[in-house]
Amino acid sequence: MSRTSSFRAAYDEVLGQWPGPVDTVDLPTPYGVTRVNSCGPAGAPPLVLLPGGGATSTVWGACAAAGAARTHRMHAVDLVGDPGLSVPAPGRALRSVADLVGWMDAVLDGLGPHGPVALGGHSYGAWIAAHYAAARAARLGRLVLLDPTRVFAGLRPGYVLRALPVLVRPTPERIRSFLGWETRGAVLDPAWLRLQDETAGLPAVRPVTGPRPDPGALAEPPDTRVDVLFAERARCHDAGRAARSAREALPAARVGVLPGVAHHALPLTAAGEIARRLAD
């Protein structure tokens, strides 16, 4: 089995654990074709979810099974250029925050949701979601940021040093070692871990980087509800300090810290709490 086909098999195995039926669509955008996996009642409020870097849209299956797919029409997106089934357009790489905003515009246009959208993201996906909310508040009714990185706090140098070998030359062994360290040995879904192993053989694309989102722009829209959840045991930043910064920047937001949860494990091990808050 080729590396690409083994990745696809691992991806389909994790997707097969979602509560069915799951609808898949490939949306054309200026930056490539974007794969979206959707489930939940067709008439339910739309919820668009962005994964953390390298996690793929399949990471949201635990949240769907925990109840998010009962209260929302859930649309989980594979980031263009990241592991997953989205296909970047030749010669049209995402290079800036403005490009990401344009890409998200095209994704939402393609999904055609009825009414304001709830947009959520984890880690790097939360950074993208926050930038989009700052630029396109009128399109959103709710913003959910799950342990966002580089939004309310910078990355700890020790975390960056530990992650660097995985970013520069990923191998299954390095990925497993890093996840074991960061999650402090949390028990993770074996199928999802196999999928993470398979990402090591995929072509790497440099992610978009840039400044933190403007907190004033996030706080400005009075009709957009903002929820921010931090992982208490995250190694990437100090969760308590980041939560305090979020409360200062967004006084009207609901900000919380989930005890006993690590950063990379958040969508998997805290799925029940995430689904409960989404339903609230």
What are the tens digits of pLDDT across the range 124-156? Answer: 999 999 999 999 999 999 999 999 999 999 999
Could you tell me the two tokens for 226?
Answer: 């903002």
Of the chain, the percentage scoring pLDDT greater than 90 comes to 88
Mean pLDDT of 201-228: 85
Could you tell me the two tokens for 235?
Answer: 């190694």
Rounded CA separation 210/195 (Å): 28
Q: What is the mean pLDDT of the chain?
A: 94
**pTM over cut 0.85:** yes
pLDDT at 215: 82
What are the tens digits of pLDDT across the range 104-131? Answer: 999 999 999 777 899 999 999 999 999 9
pLDDT at 221: 65
Identify the band that residue 219 occupies on the pLDDT scale cut at 50, 70 and 90.
Answer: confident
For residue 270, pLDDT beyond 60? yes
pLDDT at 3: 56
pLDDT at 208: 94
What are the tens digits of pLDDT across the range 46-55? Answer: 999 999 999 9
Identify the band that residue 280 occupies on the pLDDT scale cut at 50, 70 and 90.
Answer: confident
For residue 79, pLDDT beyond 90? yes
Mean pLDDT of 37-51: 96
How distant, in Å, are the alpha carbons of 45, 129, 155, 186, 261 from that of 233? 31, 23, 14, 11, 5
Question: What are the two backbone dihedrals, phi and then psi, of residue 159, each rounded to the nearest 5 degrees?
Answer: -65, -45
Map the chain to HEC letters.
CCHHHHHHHHHHHHHCCCCCCCEEEEEEECCEEEEEEEECCCCCCEEEEECCCCCCHHHHHHHHHHHHHHHCEEEEECCCCCCCCCEECCCCCCCCHHHHHHHHHHHHHHHCCCCCEEEEEECHHHHHHHHHHHHCHHHEEEEEEECCCCCCCCCCHHHHHHHHHHHHCCCHHHHHHHHHHHCCCCCCCHHHHHHHHHHHHCCCCCCCCCCCCCHHHHHCCCCCEEEEEEECCCCCCCHHHHHHHHHHHCCCCEEEEECCCCCCCHHHHCHHHHHHHHHC
Mean pLDDT of 16-27: 96
For residue 233, pLDDT beyond 90? yes
For residue 1, pLDDT beyond 60? no
What are the tens digits of pLDDT across the range 151-194? Answer: 999 999 999 999 999 999 999 999 999 999 999 999 999 999 99
Rounded CA separation 81/85 (Å): 9
- Asked if 89 contacts 32 with a C-beta cutoff of 8 angstroms, the reply is yes
